[in-house]
Each structure stands twice: as C-alpha cells, then as structure tokens.
Chains A and B, each alone.
Chain A
C-alpha cells in the first residue's frame, strides 16, 4: 500500500507571495499519478494539477506548478502570486496507474491548510 505525507498542517503567507506546499509519498509502484486537490470553504474538492509519473516534465497550470522528484518520491506544489481565493485546504493524492481509482481509490495526505493574508 502507498502512503502520502504532508508535513505542513498549516501555512500562512501574504497576498502576492509565492508559497510551496510539500508532499512526499511511498510506493513500490513504478507507474502512477499524483494530484493536488484544493478544498475551499465551500467544501467542493477541485483538482488543481495532475502529474504522470512517467513524464519527467513538471506539470503547470497557470500560477500552479509542481516540483516532481521521482527518485526522492517528492511532489511539491508551488503557488505563484498567491491570491485571497487560494485560501483552502490542499490535499496531495496518489493513484496507481491502470486502477481507474479502483479499490484503492486515491490515497490522500492529511492536508495543508493554506491561508492567504491580505
């Protein structure tokens, strides 16, 4: 079974700053997907970014980018030019390739509560 660890329970930064959320994972799988999900106060889980393990290039979505280090099993999320609307819980998640979710579903970290201060 895989595990996902988010070592920062809470972070707080000023608006417009850059912030990095850390995530490490442990797996014996070679082919998998990694995700960052955002959960704002509305509670709706929103996919922020997805990384395929066989791709060396780091995924990017507008102000959001990841630093994927496969050998180190590290998958950090960088948010540039942070905005008040980025305030949310952020969850790192792992999915085995070919599982479609499966009985393992997504394995989630415990989350990081990010607060953007005005």
Chain B
C-alpha cells in the first residue's frame, strides 16, 4: 500500500516562529500536494509539486513556501507563523500521467499557532 507520512500529528507553535511541516511518500510518485483543511471550508490547495525542485501555487499560497529537494519529500514552510494559520494540514501524492488516478493522503498535521 502507498504510504504518505506526515512527520507530526500535532504541533503547537508561537506567532512569528518558522515552522516546517514534512511529508514523505514511499511510492515514487511525481506529484505531491499540500492542502489546508478548515471547518466549513473543505480542503484548499496551498502548493503543488510535479517534480523535484518544481512547484506551483495553489489557491491560497500566501504566507507559505515549499521545498522539494528529493522526490519522496515535500516540505511546507511557514516563514513567520501567524494565528490565522492555525489549521489542519494534509499532504497528498499521486502518480503522474495517470489522469484520474487517486490521490493518497497522509493523516494530517493539526497546527496551532498561539
């Protein structure tokens, strides 16, 4: 089975801190995604990467950056965390060239910024 692992299940950070959320997949997938999930808003795409060192902005990239130095790892970075970034963050991966192939999700990181 495909496994998408997010390094932390819960994180508590202070306003202004630099925060790293890590995601690793073990199926050699080309595509990786970071979503943010908020009650009543569903999931919203923050950033997407289709290859190493490649990235594209999603719907809500402001306040976030990403890094993909290795194919299996996709990091989400909050340069200076703010309280409005308190949320659930979900990482996902999928195989390129298989349109409609399902996305595989991690278990999420609940981030609280105080």
Contact = CB atoms under 8 A, between A and B. Distances in A.
Interface stretch (B14-22, B72-80, B94-102): B94-102
A108 B90 CA distance: 13
Contacts of B58: 103, 105
From A101, A102, A108, name the one whose CB has the most chain B CB atoms within 10 angstroms: A101
Contacts of B57: 103
A91 B43 contact: yes
Contacts of B35: 105
Contacts of A101: 31, 33, 48, 92, 94, 103
A100 B90 contact: no
Contacts of A109: 42
Nearest to B56: A103
B45 A43 contact: no
Q: Is the interface of A mostly helix, strand, loop or mixed?
A: loop
Interface residues of A, number: 27
Interface string B50-61: 100000111000
B100 A52 contact: yes
Interface of B: 30-31, 33, 35, 40-45, 48, 50, 56-58, 88, 90, 92, 94-103, 105, 107-108
29 contacts: A4-B42, A9-B40, A43-B88, A43-B107, A44-B108, A45-B105, A50-B102, A52-B100, A97-B100, A98-B99, A100-B31, A100-B94, A100-B96, A100-B98, A101-B31, A101-B48, A102-B31, A102-B48, A102-B50, A103-B57, A105-B33, A105-B92, A105-B103, A106-B45, A108-B42, A109-B42, A110-B40, A110-B41, A110-B42
